[in-house]
Each structure stands twice: as C-alpha cells, then as structure tokens.
Amino acid sequence: MTHTQKRILMSRVAMTFSTISAVIGIGFLLWILGVLVSNGIDALNTDIFTLEGTPPGYEKGGLKHALIGQLYLVGIAALIGVPLGILAGTFLSEYGQRSKLAEIIRDISDIMMSAPSIVIGAFVYAIVVAPMGHFSGWAGSIALTIIMLPIILRTTDDMLSLVPSTLREAAFALGAPKYKVILQVVYRGAKAGILTGILLGIARVAGETAPLLFTSFNDNFLNTDMMEPMASLTVTMYNYATSPYEDWQKLGWAAAFILSMFILSLNIIGKLFLMKKKGR
C-alpha cells in the first residue's frame, strides 16, 4: 500500500467513525422528540389551555394554571434578569475591560453558569423562603433570575467585545460622550447578539424544575399572586408524570410537549438572529 492510499484509508476510517457518532447523537435527539410529539399531541386538546388542575379521577382537567404560572415565573425573572444582565455585561465590556475586577466577575459568572440549578434553589430557599415562612412565586422568579443572569451577562460582554474598537474610536472622534457611544453605536452593532443571549437565557430557565421545587413549589389551581406558591409547567409535569393516575400522566405528556416546543422555538429564533448577524 502506498503512502497516499494509506492516508486515504485513514481518512475514510476517521470519517466513518465520526459519522456513526453523529448519527447516534442525533438519533437520541430525534427519538426523544418523536416520543414527545406522539405522546404529547395525543394528550393535547383545548381543555389543556382553558381548565385548571383537577383531583385525579375527574374527567376534565387542564394545565391553564401551570401555563399562566410559568409565564409569571419566567416573565418576572426576565424582567429583572435581562436589564441586570445587560448592564453588568456592559460594565465588563465597556468600563471594566481587562481590569482585575472585571476578570473576577467574568470568572465568577462562568462558575455560576455551571452551578447545579438545585444548589441555587436551596440558596433561594434559605434567603427567601425560610424567612418568609412559605413558598412563593417571588422566590421562584428570584431563583430563575440568578440562573439567567450569568448567561445574559456573558453573552452581552462577548457580543459587545466583538464590536470593533475602531467603531468606538470613530464615535469618540466626533465628540461623543461615552454613554452615547455605548447607547447609540456599540449597542446597535451588537443588537442581534444581545437579543440571542436574552432568548437563550430565557430558554435555559424555562426548563428548570429543581430550583422551583423548593421556591415557588406548586399549586394545582390558578394563582397569580406572586406572594403565594405558584404552579409551573415543569413542577406540574414532574408531579403529574410520576403520579399513578393515567389522566394526570397524560397531562404530564402535554406539559412536556408544550414546554419543549416553547424552548425549541426560542432556541431556533435565537440561532436565526445570530445567523442573520453573521450573514452580513
């Protein structure tokens, strides 16, 4: 066998193995989606969106309470987390730059990003739930905010750093004060990337169960009072899916399907933004 033939053979072997690995990986993803779609669509009906939870054995029950609770929990977490994250990311990229303080914040935020979410749940339990004496929607939103924050902070930091420094210099050279350079030029240049970070941050917390288990807990009925325990799709799904009642299990599938589709679409929209940015 000549040297060239050997190389071609090695190349084919490597390609075969990586293709097989890719197929296995994607195979599982498609399998999960397939099971979810077939069971989820089966369980879907209009009652899901219009009725609240019922005790097992009742014919008609829905997920309205969990859907609305989820919107509250994630929505309020986003209302707090997005501005905080963007401002903190702006500090890192535009003010802190390579300073020691900025580097420490970056490191801590990276550690926070990989912290198990249940630990954050326990932390919020200790500082919010325990002093209040009961579970609440606020505690859930705070836990989600803490998980969301480092994601938005780091993407904002990264995306702002990608804006060429000559663009900043050009704005300064026209006599612009720093805050106007950031607001009018730098943010504009990083718009798509920051938006992606926000969407991915929201998508990440929307699927969290562990930190909600001991913060917002759950409620089988509709509650929009953030001071009280609040239902979420994830905890409801966890409760229903592990219950022995078939109608509850069906609702669990429906919750899993709705949640997955929500997160999937957020991710796809986020990727599309990024692609649009790169395409330019």
Least spacing, CB of residue 93 vs other proteins, in Å: 14
Nearer to other proteins, 91 or 125 (CB): 91
The Cβ-side half-sphere exposure at 173, using a 13 Å CA radius, reads 6
Nearer to other proteins, 28 or 179 (CB): 179
Positions touching other proteins (CB under 8 A) are 164, 166-177, 180, 184-185, 188-189, 191, 280
Nearer to other proteins, 135 or 273 (CB): 273
| Rounded distance between C-alpha atoms, residue 18 and residue 69, angstroms | 43
- To which residue do tokens 């195979």 refer? 27
Nearer to other proteins, 38 or 99 (CB): 99
Least spacing, CB of residue 103 vs other proteins, in Å: 15
Please tell me the total number of residues recorded for the chain in this structure: 280
Nearer to other proteins, 12 or 188 (CB): 188
| Rounded distance between C-alpha atoms, residue 164 and residue 168, angstroms | 7
| Rounded distance between C-alpha atoms, residue 123 and residue 107, angstroms | 20
| Rounded distance between C-alpha atoms, residue 106 and residue 130, angstroms | 30
Nearer to other proteins, 190 or 259 (CB): 190
Least spacing, CB of residue 90 vs other proteins, in Å: 16
Nearer to other proteins, 32 or 104 (CB): 104
Least spacing, CB of residue 168 vs other proteins, in Å: 7
Least spacing, CB of residue 238 vs other proteins, in Å: 45
Least spacing, CB of residue 157 vs other proteins, in Å: 18
Least spacing, CB of residue 175 vs other proteins, in Å: 4
Least spacing, CB of residue 110 vs other proteins, in Å: 25
Nearer to other proteins, 3 or 100 (CB): 100
